[in-house]
Amino acid sequence: MAILRLESGTTYTQLEDISRELASLNVQLNYWSVGDNPELRKLLAQEALNEDEKEQVLQALDGYFERLKQNAGYQSRDLIVLHPNIPNLDALLAKFESCHTHADDEVRYIIDGEGVFGFVRPDGSQVELTIQPEEYINVPAGTEHWFHLSDRKRIKAVRYFVTTEGWVPEYTGTSIRFPALAMG
């Protein structure tokens, strides 16, 4: 279940409340089931996946990709698997922990673990959204945000792209005031 935290300390866990709070950003959040395929569930329980296993996971979930291709012009997808035993994990993630935007939408389907997206709203306030398994998020192009992993430092996420060129972070220099980075 997604958790939205405001700077004031207010927390929301209901999708309609979270959607209302994120409406000014046009961020989309939905629940997508991974289903009950035992082979897929076994792969998702593993800490690491080799390339063949990643492709098996992607193919098992390609119904969502087909919908995105038809409805929104998405052209490619991949699976990112991060866990505490990846060498230089903190350095890898550091480039996303500062405020930035992208020229393309950032679209993720979390299938294991969790991640935290922080957002700067149009009024300058900041919020953090923890997204968990079976949650899909679309962060529109140009939305000022940051990303970090929770203390578990574990996530499996399908990433969807119209093009991969528009997904380079463009740093804004905005300071993150949100205390959750310190809390994890």
Which residue ranges are tagged as binding site?
100, 102, 106, 145
CA–CA separation, 49 vs 15, rounded Å?
31
Count other C-beta atoms under 10 Å from residue 10's C-beta.
11
Binding residues for Ni(2+): 100, 102, 106, 145
CA dihedral 82, 85, 90, 93 (to 10 degrees): -10
The DSSP bridge pattern shows strands 115-120 and 126-131 to be antiparallel
Per the annotation, where are the binding residues for Fe(2+)? 100, 102, 106, 145
Task: Confirm if 114 and 135 have CB atoms less than 8 A apart.
Answer: no
Residue the block writes with tokens 């700067």: 120
Nearest to 131 by CA among 146, 109, 100: 109
